[in-house]
Structure 1
């Protein structure tokens, strides 16, 4: 039949098979093999630059120099993204008899090369990409900050490979799964791998104001050429500290990077060229911008070892665990506690302790800290435990991780549910918190805050009094990021000096009131 296509698997797990593919039936879902189709030609080789030079043949002098042309070797740019080779290769036969090789991992061969080239135009800094099998991966984020997996059929990794990915992400690396044509098979496989690598972390939907949507281009709306009636971007991820350690794109990105659509797959869902390129360039910028913070936050142990018993005669930094991204800046609390110990006579434990209100006893703590990046909800037992903590002269500090508007709305909702009828009010400049250790009447903020609110020069904290003392303190701008002193692009936060002084004052206020 003229409109039939033949797929011949020629390499893989020792499998050789022939699959005849016709047009997608209108009344049923395409089979998994129907998604393995070429989505773009191989990338063009980089142009070879030739420079003139003088050459001397191996003859006895005197000899007449001969002009010859030689290739000019340019320095290799640093590698940013590695495209992981996985799955099988096949020969795809079109209806007109022409053929093309297609691989699970490389349906659009030009995707990575193209998005890095476009990013170079924006950054004016070159970055390279390379392809390799996971078996040859060193696992070092410094050598390869980002790993890219893309494809359409089900992706599977064994337990050892999943362990390699987990260790890599915990050390500061980033893994990206792109279902390049919006295939449900690849997406399901990517979620399975992600859940196996980080069983303790939920896969979160990135909120609209997440930095990844705004690094260089604002991606508030997008266009899907077919099969999806929406104008909103949809990305998911696993947070490791403040950053996205694993990113999942349910809908195709790679073809747009190569300025292509997906005509051969009827059920494909993907971003159009403009939308996908904006997300891709933002992704490159995000990977570059958050790489240092990822490595810094990876220095302490990120999961576990936070539940050690605290000394009863020392000030303890106790952090509330909740169902959302509760561990936003690992290592920041320890850095602040060192400053608190150096700046005051207060006896301070340098161990951060995690607690679950409603399950753990809170009576031994005078201070609790809660932060997050997106939605979470406290159950009634947690709220009851926190109310009891506040009634017994405890202080609760709530911090907006990265200063996201999405978390701000959630924090205010949860505070209202915790203390019905109470209202957050700005702390006046004369409040004793601002002179507890350092005299603070001015604060410096990150560029994202200054851009949105140019006239802001003072600290912004809100509070609720319980029995005459401020017991709930809310910071709508990220204060914790300042304690580590890292760069967090687009974070609405305090600068390190201001945020550290404010943090020390809050700790001292909590310890003495």
Structure 2
């Protein structure tokens, strides 16, 4: 028997992943670019804008069908004033006060964050028009913001100078991101000073989370427009290449995004010849529309990730207990903190297994692997396992252990790396597990026909999907799904997951557990 405490608590999402350096990421984007004086650039930009006067009007884009996103419908009335739309984006007010002269010689006092005052407002006009939704942007001060994502789901941070937050703002921003909010950042003119400050702040806010370049198959690049190439300018020189965004993930959701190339001036209707920009403006708007579409589509998922079910089973006797080990690695090893616990709860209610609700993090290089009848492994990126870890894993499997793995969200990067790892251990042995295998019904609760999430169902039919395995005389020691099982086990609304629905995920997991204990 088990006791389920249905209380919920805010998840400490910074829990697990090892410390990572980010200097290499910074160098990756900018080592090839000539450096320039940041203070001189910022001052020159402000004087240039003052000379230009009002920003130019920008128009463009074709018409596109609406997204199935939450929106406030436009109310039509000839007599009554239209209600103000809800706020979707808050532009963060921060930084020191500076002075600049306009075209008439008048001195204006502004802060760094408002170098281009119309950027986010123009972006939201295009977002509303292209996605047929109705939201607005507003300025937000971190001193009096509630940091509740339900109030403003997206915070936008832009500037030219080095960004620096106080300890209290860092803690509140961390809570906001863990609670389902997102942070979009833009260095005006591609400012290296802003980027340096951003890197430093992210290290303080999420010291255990890795800053990564978003992979080409990330949903941000195809959730509305398919973006595989972007046009840039570097100090007036035009070039093009794949889109480049940096991000930080919580679970299966990217919650912090930064473009190393400036988008704000294009959104604001300005052209400026110095620095690093996405240009022409249409490219910046398309990327901005995709970002907002992604943030909207994953908002519910982010709110779900902010909650964690608390179970109290860890102090019970170990007799006939099952502890599942989850493999620690460098490829985002723990995107679903509740997945294994939910599976074990399901197993206790739907089988004769006597299950203690415990998941243990396992270091392949140091842990006693013999304690675990089954190891679970998932992730979005290359696990980057070393020779010692792979050697100990193979020994564990040779002694009767079972490795159960999936590519989180159907990640292509994890899939390639995992297949390469298995090929190194068992050349040519990873193959489809036949539908008639006892693996699919050994628990007495057969999996049946796979139920696929909508994204995956657009790519393949359920009859074409196969679970893979490494077997010896029909007994499998490696059981691997290139499609996501963990998203279904977590029970979250993951709109971009290439994987199985909840019921299929639970039944697959249950049968794998029973198979591991009986073979």
TM-score tier after normalising by the smaller chain length: 0.7 to 0.9
The answer for the alignment partner of 1:66 in structure 2 is none
Partner residue of 2:491 out of 477, 485, 499: 485
The answer for the alignment partner of 2:91 in structure 1 is 83
Aligned ranges for residues 414-493 of structure 1 at < 5 Å? 414-417=421-424, 419-437=425-443, 438-453=445-460, 455-457=461-463, 459-466=465-472, 469-493=475-499
Q: Is the 1:225–1:271 contact (alpha carbons within 8 Å) kept by the matching residues of 2?
A: yes
Q: Secondary structure at the match of 1:345?
A: coil
Q: Is the 2:263–2:277 contact (alpha carbons within 8 Å) kept by the matching residues of 1?
A: no
Aligned ranges for residues 27-106 of structure 1 at < 5 Å? 29-36=36-43, 37-38=45-46, 41=54, 72-93=80-101, 97=105, 102-106=110-114
Is 1:361 equivalent to 2:368 in the alignment? yes
How far apart are residue 125 of structure 1 and its match?
Answer: 2.2
Q: How high is the TM-score relative to the length of structure 1?
A: 0.82
Q: 1:27 to 1:294 in 2, by over 3 A?
A: closer
Distance in 2 of aligned mates of 1:297 and 1:510: 29
The answer for the alignment partner of 1:19 in structure 2 is none
Q: Secondary structure at the match of 1:473?
A: strand
Distance in 1 of aligned mates of 2:264 and 2:388: 46
Distance in 2 of aligned mates of 1:106 and 1:324: 37
The answer for the alignment partner of 2:504 in structure 1 is 498
| Count of matched residue positions in the alignment of Structure 1 and Structure 2 | 460
The answer for the alignment partner of 2:339 in structure 1 is 332
How far apart are residue 329 of structure 1 and its match?
Answer: 2.0
The answer for the alignment partner of 2:412 in structure 1 is 405
Bigger Rg over Cα: 1
Query: Structure 2 regions of 5+ residues with no counterpart?
Result: 1-32, 58-74
Partner residue of 2:286 out of 278, 285, 288: 278
The answer for the alignment partner of 1:150 in structure 2 is 158
Q: Map Cα deviations across residues 27-48 of structure 1 (whole Å, 9 max, x no partner).
A: 972233522534695899xxxx
Distance in 1 of aligned mates of 2:439 and 2:35: 65
Higher helix share: 2
Q: Is the 1:320–1:356 contact (alpha carbons within 8 Å) kept by the matching residues of 2?
A: yes
Distance in 2 of aligned mates of 1:275 and 1:309: 58
Q: How high is the TM-score relative to the length of structure 2?
A: 0.81
The answer for the alignment partner of 1:225 in structure 2 is 233
The answer for the alignment partner of 2:9 in structure 1 is none
Q: Secondary structure at the match of 1:252?
A: coil
Aligned ranges for residues 1-20 of structure 1 at < 5 Å? none
Q: Secondary structure at the match of 2:148?
A: coil
Q: 1:290 to 1:34 in 2, by over 3 A?
A: same
Q: Is the 2:406–2:486 contact (alpha carbons within 8 Å) kept by the matching residues of 1?
A: yes
Q: Is the 1:339–1:504 contact (alpha carbons within 8 Å) kept by the matching residues of 2?
A: yes
The answer for the alignment partner of 2:384 in structure 1 is 377
Partner residue of 2:119 out of 104, 111, 121: 111
How far apart are residue 289 of structure 1 and its match?
Answer: 1.1
Q: Is the 2:429–2:471 contact (alpha carbons within 8 Å) kept by the matching residues of 1?
A: no
Q: Which has the higher contact order (CA 8 A, sep 6+)?
A: 2
RMSD: 3.0
Q: Map Cα deviations across residues 43-82 of structure 1 (whole Å, 9 max, x no partner).
A: 99xxxx99877xxxxxxxxxxxxxxxxxx44333232221
Q: Secondary structure at the match of 1:181?
A: helix
Query: Structure 1 regions of 5+ residues with no counterpart?
Result: 1-25, 54-71
Q: Secondary structure at the match of 2:364?
A: coil
The answer for the alignment partner of 1:507 in structure 2 is 513
Q: 1:157 to 1:200 in 2, by over 3 A?
A: same
Aligned ranges for residues 116-265 of structure 1 at < 5 Å? 116-227=124-235, 229-263=239-273
Distance in 2 of aligned mates of 1:340 and 1:110: 55
